[in-house]
Amino acid sequence: MKTHEWLDKYNAIWLSVPDYHDITPKNKPFDEISQWNGKDIKDMSRYLLGVVTQSLRGGNPAQRSIFNHAIECTQALLEFNMYARYKSHDDSTLTYMEDVLCRFHSIEDVFLLERAGKQVKAKSNALRMDLIKKQKVDEETDAETWTPSKMRCELNAWRDYVSHDLDVSKELDADITFPKIHLMSRWVEQIC
């Protein structure tokens, strides 16, 4: 949501969740909460999908695809959480847990650009500098034949090219490495 500048909308919807039954009203925006306790997580799992879905309404066609994947990923994670809270399991519930976890892992790449670490960011900055140097060399060789409109078109094309290459670089080098995400893959084994 930070990448697409939708965090304010998300926080507004987050804070508007009403006090209902045993759900405590929110007094802080989502991004300001630093620690969660068990009751907070249990409460949040009851309405998180609705908040995410409402927050990600709209957007341009390119964003829609990303938003739909983010919603699906959130849904899979919440379904896994729901199955994990069962007091007892049988073969079918364990199979459901594994299926939901596979679905989550198949679409978790929607969050990879945000998980780029310091090394990945340094590498992408080096790539950006190389691409900018290449652009300057190309501009110097063709500068005599360019009109102002052609120069503008060329600069926009280069900007898009650099942006795309950086996104691809970050996505290839980024990884989701949360210990809690990894522990989910051991959950069914531990229950058995």
pTM beyond 0.85 = no
pLDDT at position 95 is 93
Cα–Cα nearest to 175, from 80, 111, 101: 111
Q: List all residues 6 or more positions away from 163 whose beta carbon is below 8 Å from its beta carbon.
A: none
pLDDT at position 1 is 76
pLDDT at position 39 is 81
* Amino acid (1-letter code) at residue 160: D
pLDDT per position as a tens digit, 64-118? 888 888 899 899 999 998 998 899 999 999 999 999 999 988 888 777 655 555 5
**Average pLDDT, consecutive stretches of 10 residues, N- to C-terminus, the chain (192 residues):** 81 84 78 82 86 85 83 92 90 93 84 58 64 63 63 64 56 55 81 85
Cα–Cα nearest to 111, from 12, 184, 28, 4: 4
pLDDT at position 174 is 46
Q: Where are the domains of the chain?
A: 117-173
